[in-house]
Amino acid sequence: MEREELAQLTRELRRRVEQSHESEWGVAAAVLPAPIKAPSSGASKEAKLEALAVRIRACRQCSLGSTRLNAVPGVGSADARVMFIGEGPGFDEDHKGEPFVGKSGQLLDKILESIGLSRQTVYIANVVKCHPMKDPADPEARGNDRPPEPPELAACRPFLDEQIGVIAPEIIVTLGAVAAKALLGDGISITRIRGQWREYTPAGGAPVKLLPTFHPAALLRDPNLKKDVWTDMKNLKKELEPK
Q: What is the C-alpha to C-alpha distance for residues 138 and 156, in angstroms, rounded to an integer?
A: 22
Q: Minimal CB distance to ligand URA: which residue? A: 86
**Can residue 100 be called a binding residue for ligand URA (CB under 6 A)?**
yes
Among 65, 86, 97, 148, interactor with ligand URA by CB under 6 A: 86
90: CB partners within 8 A, 6+ apart: 102, 104, 131, 145
Nearer to ligand URA, 70 or 121 (CB): 70
Residue 142 is classified by DSSP as T
Q: How many CA atoms lie within 13 A of 112 on its CB side?
A: 21
Strand order in the sheet with 123-126: 75-76, 123-126, 82-86, 171-175, 208-213, 198-200
Give the nearest distance from C-beta 77 to ligand URA in angstroms.
17
Q: How many CA atoms lie within 13 A of 106 on its CB side?
A: 4
Of 27-35, 85-93, 195-203, 218-226: span binding ligand URA (CB under 6 A): 85-93
Sign of the alpha-carbon dihedral angle for 78, 166, 72, 210? negative
**Can residue 74 be called a binding residue for ligand URA (CB under 6 A)?**
no
Give the x/- contact pattern for ligand URA in 117-156, rule: CB under 6 A. ---------x------------------------------
**Can residue 174 be called a binding residue for ligand URA (CB under 6 A)?**
no
Residues touching ligand URA, count (CB under 6 A): 11
Q: What residues line the site for ligand URA (CB under 6 A)? A: 86-90, 93, 99-100, 104-105, 126
